[in-house]
Amino acid sequence: MINNNELSQWLSYNPNSGEFFWLKTSSSRACAGSRAGTTTKKGYISIKIRGTFFLAHRLAWFFVHGEFPENQIDHKNTIKTDNRISNLRLSTNKQNHCNRGAQKNSTSGIKGVYWFKPQKSWKAQIVVSGKSIHLGYFKTKEQAAEARKAAEAIHHKEFAHRGEATIAYSDPLPRSRVKLVKEAA
């Protein structure tokens, strides 16, 4: 494992922008002064130091707090490349799952809301402690979404998902040029 002194010899971290920069040149792709990291298939930034890959949000936490967290780190705004320290918080696995958006195959685009054919209406539900709670059937998707948001505020509290992230922006890493913009909740 890497220590804080060794890490600060290789990288600099700007807690206001969430960006890492190389202090030393270690390869043709990791030149002193250049931005560190690549975007993984899951959308996180990964940085390779001495043959070991580290997720940038965990390195950010380590830079600021001096230790790697035992639990997970949640990106408050759900943007996986936004590693500003103000956007990161400790979370359990359960809390981190609360702050996720809709799945890719969602027909409504809203977590916990889908069209229920037998009732010919929109159904809202939420999972709490591994159990699905039926919130009701609604005439409109918007009504179902409101019920879902209200339930999230009660059950998920500060980890309630505040909005859906949509593709529309430029990634902080020059390789991918894709960025997420958070829609207004």
Domain with residue 32: its CATH number is 3.90.75.20
- Here the CATH number for the domain that contains residue 124 is 1.20.5
Whether 122 is in a domain gets the answer: yes
Structural domain harbouring 150? 100-155
**Statement to judge: residues 105 and 32 lie in one domain:** no
Question: How many angstroms separate the CA atoms of 151 and 7, rounded?
Answer: 42
Task: Give the model's pLDDT for residue 78.
Answer: 82
Task: Give the model's pLDDT for residue 6.
Answer: 84
Three-state DSSP at 21 gives strand
Task: Give the model's pLDDT for residue 129.
Answer: 80
Residues 6+ apart with CB under 8 A from 78: 99, 100, 101, 161, 162, 163, 165, 180, 182
Question: How many angstroms separate the CA atoms of 161 and 6, rounded?
Answer: 36
Whether 81 is in a domain gets the answer: yes
**Statement to judge: residues 141 and 116 lie in one domain:** yes
Whether 182 is in a domain gets the answer: no
Task: Give the model's pLDDT for residue 2.
Answer: 76
Task: Give the model's pLDDT for residue 96.
Answer: 66
Task: Please list the rounded mean pLDDT of every run of 10 residues in the chain (185 residues).
Answer: 82 96 87 94 93 95 92 88 94 71 72 89 87 91 88 73 42 34 31
Task: Give the model's pLDDT for residue 185.
Answer: 31
**Statement to judge: residues 29 and 112 lie in one domain:** no
Longest distance between any two alpha carbons in the chain, whole Å = 62
**Statement to judge: residues 68 and 134 lie in one domain:** no
Long-range contacts of 33-42 (CB under 8 A, 24+ apart): 35/172, 35/173, 35/174, 36/11, 37/173, 38/173, 38/175, 39/81, 39/171, 39/173, 39/175, 39/176, 42/80
Whether 184 is in a domain gets the answer: no
The total number of structural domains in the chain stands at: 2
**Statement to judge: residues 83 and 31 lie in one domain:** yes
Whether 175 is in a domain gets the answer: no
Q: What does R_g of the chain's alpha carbons equal in angstroms?
A: 19
Whether 164 is in a domain gets the answer: no
Using H for helix, E for strand and C for coil, what is the string for 67-98? CCCCCEEEECCCCCCCCCHHHEEEECHHHHHH
